[in-house]
Structure 1
Amino acid sequence: MALVQEAGDSDWWANHANGRSGPLPANVVRFDRLEEVAIDDFAAVLWISRRVMPAALAARLAGRCVTYRPPA
């Protein structure tokens, strides 16, 4: 799974209320921008962003993307 974090606190994994430690699971690959993801290499994308989905990617990600909009 591609995890794309463009907004929000970047230390959420280590500072989660459950006290997680260590790296993200091996099946999660983190990116800073949606455009960095080789879409065809991932079955799913978790996109953490406040921006609108780029039109060029919307159709390619249909049914495979969950968008989370963190508070400002």
Structure 2
Amino acid sequence: MFTIEHEFDATVVTLVDEGGTHLQEDVIVSALDDCVTIAQYDPVRRQENLVTLSMAQVADLRAALDLPEGMYRIVRKAGA
């Protein structure tokens, strides 16, 4: 299950694990103008883990999801 919320400065997607017995904490993805953050609470350390991706990294991740195993470089056109 997931939810989508449009806030003032970000679109927030929350991914809820509904799987089997070893459920993971919710994952919160916040898309801002210049970056995307991914947060997940760690109950063992009692802290939130945060990963910040640049928009270029998001574009690379998007492309990587549709490619076979290997090493790639996306060449961006000037002004794109």
Give the TM-score of the pair, scaled to structure 2.
0.24
Decide which structure has the larger Cα Rg and report it.
2
Give the TM-score of the pair, scaled to structure 1.
0.25
By relative contact order (CA 8 Å, sep 6+), the higher-ranking structure is 1
Structure number with the higher strand fraction is: 2
Structure number with the higher helix fraction is: 1
